[in-house]
Amino acid sequence: MSKATIVWTKIDEAPALATYSLLPIVQKFTEKVGVNVEERDISLAGRVIATMGEFLEEDQRISDELAYLGDLVNKSEANIIKLPNISASVTQLKETIEELRLQGYKLPDFPENPETDEEKRIRALYNKCLGSAVNPVLREGNSDRRAADAVKKYAQKHPHKLRPFAENCKAKVSSMSEGDFYENEQSMIVEKDSKFTIELNNKVLCEGELEKDEIISATFMSAKKLSSFLDETIEEAKKEDLLWSIHLKATMMKVSDPIIFGHAVKEFFKDVFEKYAKEFEEIGVNPDLGLGDLYEKLEKLPKEKAEEIKKAIQEEYNKRPNLAMVDSDNGITNLHASNLIIIDASMPPVIRDGGKMWNKDGKTQETLAVIPDRTFATMYDEILEDAKENGQFDVATMGHVSNVGLMAKKAEEYGSHPYTFKASEDGLMEVKDEEGKVLMSHKVEKGDIYRMMRAKDIAIKDWIRLAHERGSLTGAPIVFWLDSNRPHDANLIKKVVEYLPKHLEEKEIEYHILAPRAAMKYTLKRVRRGLNTISVTGNALRDYLTDLFPILELGTSAKMMSIVPLLAGGGLFETGAGGSAPKHVEQFLKTHHLRWDSLGEFLALAESLRMIGQKSGDKDVSLLARMVDKANEAYLDNNKTPSRKAGEPDNKASHYYWAMYLAEALANQTENEELAKQFAPIAKELKDLEKAILDEMLAVEGKEADIGGYYHPDDEKATKAMRPSETLNEIINKI
């Protein structure tokens, strides 16, 4: 009988492929100390199947495992290893639906513009699968994200390359100076439990319940001022010969940011949208879905008309500044789809590459980075200007920036989806309590983007506690990235001032409260001196900083540990970013080579086991956690990370080496003689048969891989593709 259960999430793309190889190995090792590791499907395809079960055959239906995990995170026994999942755009959701239909799932069409009640009902069901649908459900705790000492030391010993900044670098960040979310924000601390409504001209848009002492904030972005701003940046980029790029978070902000993205598409191709407005309306062009979707919709027109519009788009390119590319080899631009320009993945490379992005010619060019809302853009501006003035960072000596992030109870941006609206008419947007009292009020115009967000008091208290705990354990200063001139942050500062002192009575630590620009300036001074700093931030900055600094320090955010101590007493252990996963899968399908690095999974497993050991007092589980630490160090010290090139050891081989190091660590330890005895022959076989195992793995390299589907692979085919070494499989099966 197992002592505890770890849930390993079944997700998407590259980390999902890696799981077919790694999970069977993990399960064999953990079984030996009585820990069960089970898989739960929260992939995009799995969520679609679970959500749309009423349309499917009985044998095709599956249980809603995201809902199951949503219940589990509120229990003390929760122990979940969460791999990165797709935060789906409309385009990705439509592709998933199409793939599932080809596999025999009788799913309804995705209604882009629902008109009938049934279409609206179907769209509402599909909407549950869009955007950041998973994270708000599972993150019932605040985030502790940092690099393990071994990972940081490895990066400093083997520094990756950062491109130098030119002496007169013109790259810059541009944001709105008026009419944005920052300017229009209102905020308040709720005085008592109450029901509330959000209304436009007294028509109820949504309703819910407020909790005493929570912070609620509301704001809007002017559509007219956004369009004017975008037009100005396009002209500026053309004049200054800069690459034009826009940076948004349409996965987290799945209602507001696709609309902002749509404005960018319309402004960049303004003449085309004006000239062909009639045709675009006829074929259902939605600029929010990007240029890629526009090209697809053009296929509905007569060939001659479609070619005419394509030519007009090309002429528009020639009139405009160079546009940043996501994939210059395949003509995928910065405006093709909103999910391709996730700011936390797109801005760090701008710093890494000397203020440059890729242009249509496959060359790097200095960019004008457009981040419309200035709330957090200032910190990107600060780091770019710092690097222009002081030069590129030194990976070998730079200090580490970890993060404590406020995200429990759907805090802030993650909880804003139900409260975000595009104003359907001019008028007054109001938040009212159950007595009809107006709590917040904004005068909006048709097309403006309105949103409300919340932060529960229990989540804020725990965030402050966790920040103090990390400062106490490390001795590094903690910095609250809060702007006293921003109403929401001003209320958070009140909470910090109220709740932090009781923790300081237990142990004094150094702390600062600084607005994002000043916080970045303070942090960078320490980084350049080789000193560590703990950033303590709200939800969006948590996302941004935990990609920005790891990409500069480590080369990737996938090597970070992300620990979420759940409010109910359990733990959620996240394994790193999946932003490059599509390219990894593309390479794998062509060559059988998967370059995904599973270090994040290795690190998460150690922390997951450690929590079980600490809570239960089980010495064997704690021992295995320490041995996983040793295996992780050996994996790094011996540089067994996957090669990027086909024909060289990849992700599958890295799992073999990690298993060998773990078996050796268990065989050589002296705390548990029985475990040492069991693993001694396993360790010997794994070491002695290295050539045979690698030969079997490399024999499939260079050949196409058939896994039966991109979003919904065939488990049998994917397992065969990811476990090609029968020698290794036989050894693992003996454990």
Where does 284-401 have alpha helices with state H?
Answer: 290-298, 303-319, 343-352, 374-390
Calculate the average pLDDT of the chain. Answer: 95
Report yes or no: 291 and 336 within 8 Å, Cβ to Cβ. Answer: yes
Quote the pLDDT of residue 583.
84
Q: Which tens digits make up the pLDDT trace of 166-222? A: 999 999 999 999 999 999 999 999 999 999 999 999 999 999 999 999 999 999 999
Backbone angles phi, psi at 255, to 5 degrees: -105, -50
Backbone angles phi, psi at 726, to 5 degrees: -65, -30
- Percent of the chain clearing pLDDT 90 (strictly above): 90
Q: How far is CA 403 from the centre of its chain?
A: 15
Please say if the pLDDT value at position 389 is more than 80. Answer: yes
Quote the pLDDT of residue 613.
96
In a domain, 177, yes or no: no
Q: Which tens digits make up the pLDDT trace of 498-550? A: 999 999 999 999 999 999 999 999 999 999 999 999 999 999 999 999 999 99
Terminal CA-to-CA distance of the chain, rounded, Å?
17
What b/e string do you get for 424-460 counting C-beta neighbours within 10 Å, with b at 16 or more? eeebebbbbbeeeeebbebebeebbbbbbbbbbbebb
Both tokens of 614, joined, read 């600490």
Quote the pLDDT of residue 254.
84
DSSP class per residue in 597-651: -THHHHHHHHHHHHHHHHHH--HHHHHHHHHHHHHHHHHHHTT-PPPSSTTS--H
Both tokens of 374, joined, read 């200035």
In a domain, 382, yes or no: yes
Q: Which tens digits make up the pLDDT trace of 18-28? A: 999 999 999 99
Please say if the pLDDT value at position 314 is more than 80. Answer: yes
Quote the pLDDT of residue 557.
86
3-state secondary structure 30-42: HHCCCEEEEEEEC
In a domain, 7, yes or no: no
Number of domains into which the chain is organized: 1
Q: Which tens digits make up the pLDDT trace of 229-243? A: 999 999 999 999 999
In a domain, 243, yes or no: yes
Q: Which tens digits make up the pLDDT trace of 43-61? A: 999 999 999 999 999 999 9
Quote the pLDDT of residue 1.
46
Sheet containing strand 215-221, edge to edge, reads 186-189, 215-221, 449-455, 420-422
Quote the pLDDT of residue 576.
72
Q: Which tens digits make up the pLDDT trace of 690-721? A: 999 999 999 999 999 999 999 999 999 999 99
Q: What share of the chain is helix, strand, coil (3-state, %, to 5)?
A: 50, 20, 30
Which residues have C-beta within 8 Å of that of residue 598, sequence separation ≥ 6? 15, 18, 22, 651, 654, 655, 658
Q: Give the mean pLDDT of 3-7.
A: 93
The CA distance from 46 to 127, in Å, is 14
What b/e string do you get for 5-42 counting C-beta neighbours within 10 Å, with b at 16 or more? bbbbbbbbbbbbbbbbbbbbbbbbbbebbbbebeebbb
Quote the pLDDT of residue 578.
55
The CA distance from 682 to 734, in Å, is 8
Count other Cβ atoms within 10 Å, centred on residue 267.
Answer: 22
The CA distance from 355 to 364, in Å, is 9
Half-sphere exposure of 192 (CA within 13 A, CB side): 5
For residue 579, what pLDDT band results from cuts at 50, 70 and 90? low
Half-sphere exposure of 249 (CA within 13 A, CB side): 19
Q: Which tens digits make up the pLDDT trace of 475-496? A: 999 999 999 999 999 999 999 9
The CA distance from 190 to 456, in Å, is 10
CA distances from 300 to 96, 127, 303, 306, 583 (A): 21, 25, 9, 8, 29
Quote the pLDDT of residue 559.
85
Please say if the pLDDT value at position 331 is more than 70. Answer: yes
Q: Residue 230 carries which side chain, given as an amino acid letter?
A: L
H-run or E-run covering 216: strand 215-221
Q: Residue 131 carries which side chain, given as an amino acid letter?
A: G
**In terms of residue numbers, what domain contains 265?**
223-396
Q: Give the mean pLDDT of 7-17.
A: 95
DSSP class per residue in 43-74: SHHHHHHHHTGGGS-GGG----HHHHHHHHTT
Where does 158-221 have alpha helices with state H?
Answer: 181-184
In a domain, 296, yes or no: yes
In a domain, 46, yes or no: no
Please say if the pLDDT value at position 90 is more than 90. Answer: no
461 burial via Cβ count (<10 Å: 0-12, 13-18, 19+): middle
The SS3 assignment for 592 reads coil
Which residues have C-beta within 8 Å of that of residue 248, sequence separation ≥ 6? 257, 260, 261, 338, 341, 342, 343, 371, 372
In a domain, 712, yes or no: no
DSSP class per residue in 662-685: HHHHHHH-SS-HHHHHHHHHHHHH
In a domain, 335, yes or no: yes
The CA distance from 413 to 540, in Å, is 7
